[in-house]
Amino acid sequence: MANVVVVGSQWGDEGKGKIVDWLSERADVVVRFQGGHNAGHTLVVGDVVYKLSLLPSGVVRPGKLSIIGNGVVVDPWALVDEIARIGELGVSITPKTLKIAENVALILPSHGAVDRAREEAGGANKLGTTGRGIGPAYEDKVGRRAVRLCDLADETLLAKRLDALLLHHNAILRGLGSPEFKRDEVMAKLLDVAPAVLPYADRVWHCLDEARRRGDRILFEGAQGAMLDVDHGTYPFVTSSNTVAGQAAAGAGAGVKVIGYVLGITKAYTTRVGRGPFPSELHDETGKLLGERGREFGTVTGRRRRCGWFDAVLVRQAVKIGGIDGIALTKLDVLDGLPKLNVCVGYRINGEQYDHLPALPSLQDRAEPVYETLDGWAENTQGARSWADLPATAVKYIRRIEELIEAPVALLSTSPDREDTILVRDPFAD
């Protein structure tokens, strides 16, 4: 029996919500280990649609322990709002069912203000952040001036932390011509929210160690995707944390040996939100069709996603960087009816062939896709629940993807419905 890490293998939005929900039924503990409330997962359970941005997907499943690890940055007000919103859908979240690392860094109102002010000042060179303060919160964590969840229990310490933080934030805001924050006002807001969030604080590392010793199945849930990793993604158009599976151990307070199987969620085509290189992007009717069929709008931001052909080069790179053992291929049904399907198998940059995406941005910007064309299928794959339900050409497409990315398909998703999933290999049984 293996503990499983679920990560995105592209630029996020690969359909992790459904797969994590599907796996969480088999898990005992579900852990978020990076990101903040800039990531969104949509779960469809029966007739109810849950839109989560900070809470682990396991919260909608009775009897599961949900954990927010120290690698996450938490906006306490967004957390309280999300708990209340999910509560209105009939899901009761208590300190017994949700535990948050006591040493997790918090996102304060000034973080969002700094984020938005810098984006506005960037003009045409803005990064395309969600403006929710995730990046500045990670900066403060690394800069050793963050306010952490446990600090809310010590008013004297909290005041000192806040003084240091606002000294830094107000200097930035002043320089950008934006309103500054008053310490007493922010302090009052923190003291007001503290009773609502402190009950969830716990020694997450200890909880996970106990779960491991009991033999519980642990599911580590990542946010965003490998190509948005702050080290390995298309920098600087990336998120502010490590999104690859290696972060699961550090971001949850668990030893690396706790990781057994890494599942990379992979869309049958490619999308990304915001600016940044995208070699296989389509600007034609096919790209528009993929976006409409796939309902390619962000769960959190509502922003339209850019769409393109499947990029096997990027996914293969993510497989190697992230130690991905197998993939969950999602949204295959979106390709139904397309007579020909292109797959990016390499790049041409300045007249040379590349089998990877180089780190230098100027080379990334010049990357032209080299395509291999495969036959499409006229039949409908939506709702397929076995290989026998799939057209032969669809199976050939999947097999060719496996060859190109050098990883097998462990699960196949054919609709947003959690039951429309073909299990090839159970990650927990590895």
Residue 40 CB contacts under 8 Å (≥ 6 apart), including other chains:
17, 51, 52, 53, 298, 299, 300, 301
- Residues 333 and 310 sit within 8 Å (Cβ to Cβ): no
For the question of residue 37 being annotated catalytic, the response is no
Contacts of 241 (CB under 8 A, 6+ apart): 34, 35, 71, 73, 138, 224, 229, 230, 247, 251
Active site annotation includes 356: no
Catalytic residue, from 13, 21, 311, 325: name it: 13
Burial class (CB in 10 A: 0-12, 13-18, 19+), 48: exposed
Q: Which of 41, 111, 169, 232 is catalytic?
A: 41
Count Cβ neighbours within 10 Å for each residue of 249-287 and write b for 16 or more, e otherwise.
bbbbbbeeebbbbbbbbbbbbbbbbbebbbbbbbeeebb
Helix (H, G, I), strand (E, B) or coil at 16: helix
Asked whether the beta carbons of 273 and 303 are under 8 A apart, the reply is yes
Q: Are strands 306-308 and 270-272 parallel, antiparallel or unpaired?
A: antiparallel
Name the nearest CA neighbour of 68 among 162, 208, 189.
208
Residues catalogued as catalytic: 13, 41
